[in-house]
Each structure stands twice: as structure tokens, then as C-alpha cells.
Amino acid sequence: MDNTVPPSMIRDLITGYTQMATDRMQWGWEPTLLTFMFNQLRGSPSNVEQQMQETIEAVYAKILRWCFRKPRNVPVTAMPLWICTPDYPVHKYHKQNFRDIALNGGRHVHAIALMPPGTNMRTTLDNHFDHEQIRYTGRDRPLWHIDAWPIQDNLPFVVDYGVKGIKTPRAGVDAMFILPRTHSEMEGRRAEKAYLCDIVSVDPERLRSGSRPK
């Protein structure tokens, strides 16, 4: 399937996403570049794509629990904004990590993550993933590693890098996804069920009480 779109549309999309990030940063939102790298996933390319998206949605759902006691009561516009784009390694002259090339055909996912101020999370997103990596990744989980780098300057360049997968037919615009979804969409997603039943690993009474994960 040809996922190519006109270059002018690509430029407009990148400009739009950069503006979304800039507007939020003016109100104190903190930007971070995330890179999700996966262990080998089974299935067809479309199935692997779906597994990656659902895994990131599950991570996002867990971040919501760190940010808000009752995420379902929070307006979608006040939730963290993640602009997620699949990507593949770029052929370079220097030697690349074999894992990055071999697993899942090299497919990984970047996210421009914007975190709102005033949440219950007491640290930055990059520090959170540095200290809590074991909660999200492991040999027996879909995710192998999450890289997180704070965006401190040159935002247009970083956004362009983070969404560069839309420039190639191998990923393309159709593979992008934005988080959060609407409340009704999040309630019905398998990622939400994975968050409730697997990743957080707490009993239903604690979930209903709004206790944060340990």
C-alpha cells in the first residue's frame, strides 16, 4: 500500500504539530522526546503495528494514573499530549546497533510527549522513565526499552525528527496516532484493560479508591 502524501501536506502537518507543542509550552507544559523500542513481536506487519500501538497506549494509561488520582474525571484537553509516530532506522555509514535493525524489521516508535503542569507526578517524564523503567519493560514484555530526552531547545528540529516516519511510505501518515483519545475510546481499548489487569497489578478495590500504583 502506498502511504505517500504530498510534501506540502507533510510540511503542514509538521508545522501544525510544532505549533501544538509551542502553544502548550507557553502555558508551562514540559516537552520530552520518547523512543519506544520493542522485543521481537509475533505476527504479520499489521499485527505487530497494532501490538506496538496498544502497548504505548497502555504505558500512557499508566502515566495518567501517576498524573491524576481519577483520570476519568479529567478533561481530555488537560491530559498529557503524546504525538506518536512509527519509524525505521535510517541507513548510515557508521555501524548501527544490530538489535535496532533486526528486531521487528527495525520498527520503533517516537513520541513528542507534552506533560501539563500541576499534576501529581512529582518529577519530569524523563526522570520517571529513568527510575521506573522496570515497570514498563523487560524480556517477558513487549517493550525492551524506553528512551526519554527532555526537549530543551530547537523544538522545530526535534518535532521534525520525532515525526519523520510520516515522510516515508514504509510508515506513513496513517500510522501516526495521538494520545489521549476521548474518554469513551479509552474505556473501550484493550490497552486500558491491559493497564487495569496487568501492568499496574493491583486489585479492583484499590483501583476504585484511586490509589496510585506502587
- Residues 188-201 have pLDDT tens digits of 554 444 443 333 33
More confident residue, 151 or 92: 151
40-76, pLDDT tens digit by residue?
A: 999 999 999 999 999 999 999 999 999 999 998 999 9
Q: Is the dihedral of CA 193, 194, 196, 202 positive or negative?
A: positive
Contact 82, 112 (CB under 8 A): yes
What does pTM read for this prediction?
0.80
Contact 62, 192 (CB under 8 A): no
Return the C-alpha torsion angle 156, 104, 126, 150, nearest 10: -20
Contact 142, 38 (CB under 8 A): yes
Where along the chain do its domains lie? 7-209
